[in-house]
Structure 1
C-alpha cells in the first residue's frame, strides 16, 4: 500500500492523520500553503511544504483534509494544474456500510458512521464522526457533513453542499448546489441553490455570495 500525504495542516488534518493511523496507513507528511507551518509537526507528521509540492511525492496517495467544500475544491484544482495525483479513500474501521454503497475517490468517512443500502457518494466527500445515512441517498462531489448528522432515505445532496453538526434531514429532500444546512437544523423542505437554512424547522437564513 502506498504512503499517504495529507493536504491541509489545520484541525481536521489532525483528525484525518489519527483516522489514517487507525486504518494502518503510513502518513509520510503534510502539505500546506501556510509558510509558517512548514517543517512543523501535525500529529507527528512533518509539514513538507506547499500543496504544489505534491508532484515530488508522486509515489504516494493523497487526501485533502479540509472541511470547507469550496476550499477543498480550490485546493484540488490547484493540484490538478501540476498533474493527476492519486487520491485515497479513508474509511475508519468502525464504520458500518453495506456492499451496495459506492464511494468516490478522495472521500473520508470518520469513526462511528453508518451507511445503509444503495447509497452513492461522489468524489472528495467528508462524512465526519457518527453520521448516519439512509437508503438510496445520492451525494454529489465535494459534500461535507459535520458530526452527528442524520440523513434519512432518498436524500440528494448536490455539488458543494455542507451540513452542520447535529442537523437532521427528512426523507426524500434535496439540497441544491452550493447550499448549506446550519448546525442543529431540522430540514423539512428542499433548499434551493446557494442558500443557507437554519433552525427548527429550518428556514432561509441568507444567500451565499461568491
Structure 2
C-alpha cells in the first residue's frame, strides 16, 4: 500500500499525481496531532509497526532538510510520482522519492537524485545533474549541462544559464538569473544574480 509522509498543501499535489497515475493511496502520516484527515484520506502518526503495510512511500514535505531527515529515518521503499502531463525523456534518470509536477519538461540524459521536487512547468534541459533533495520551484528554467548540489532550492521563475555549477544547500531567489557558479550555502538574488552578504 502507498502512503505519503506529510499532509499539507504539498501533499494535495502529490495525492492528485498518484491518483492520475492510477495508484491507490492508503493514507498519510503527519506529526501534527491535530490532523486526522486530508480530503477522504486518513492521517495517522507514523510508527515502525506500519512498515509491514507500506509497499511505497513519498515524502510530501517541501522543506528540503525536513525531507532528508524523514527519508533517513524511514526504512520503507520509496516510489516516484510523475504527473501524466509532464514530459520526461526516456533517457533521463530519476531517483526514488522524487516527484514531478504537471507541465514539467525533463530532457535527455538529465540525472535527478532521490527525493527531489520538480515543480509545475519547470524545465530541466539535457545533461543536467540534480543531487538528492533538490527543490526546483514552478517555472524555473535550467539550461543544459547544469549541476545542482544536494538540498539546494531554486526559487520560482529563476533562470540558470548553461554549464553552471550550483553548490550544496544553496538558495536561489525567485526570478533570479544565474550567470556564474554558486558556492555551497550561498543565497543568490537578482538579475544578474549576486550573492547576499549575511550580516
**Structure 1 length as normaliser, TM-score?**
0.90
> Where does structure 2 lack aligned partners over 5 or more consecutive residues?
none
The residue number in structure 1 matching 2:156 is: 165
Q: 1:125 & 1:35 partners in 2: Cα distance?
A: 27
**Structure 2 length as normaliser, TM-score?**
0.94
- Report the 3-state secondary structure (helix = DSSP H, G, I; strand = E; otherwise coil) of the residue aligned with 2:188: strand
**Contact kept? 1:17, 1:43, Cα under 8 Å:** no
2:73 counterpart of 1:75:
no
Q: 1:57 to 1:130 in 2, by over 3 A?
A: farther
Q: 2:127 & 2:45 partners in 1: Cα distance?
A: 41
Q: 1:124 & 1:66 partners in 2: Cα distance?
A: 10
The residue number in structure 2 matching 1:14 is: 12
Q: 2:189 & 2:55 partners in 1: Cα distance?
A: 40
How many residue pairs end up in the alignment? 198
**Contact kept? 1:197, 1:206, Cα under 8 Å:** no
Runs of 4+ that moved beyond 3 A:
52-59
Q: Provide the alpha-carbon RMSD of the alignment.
A: 1.4
The residue number in structure 2 matching 1:63 is: 58
Q: 1:165 & 1:33 partners in 2: Cα distance?
A: 28
**Contact kept? 1:155, 1:171, Cα under 8 Å:** yes
**Of the candidates 38, 41, 48, which is equivalent to residue 44 of structure 2?**
48
What does the per-residue CA deviation read over 1:122-146, in whole Å, with 9 as the maximum and x for residues that have no partner?
1111101001011110111111111
Q: 1:131 to 1:49 in 2, by over 3 A?
A: same
2:90 counterpart of 1:92:
no
Deviation at 1:59, TM superposition (A): 3.6
The residue number in structure 2 matching 1:27 is: 25
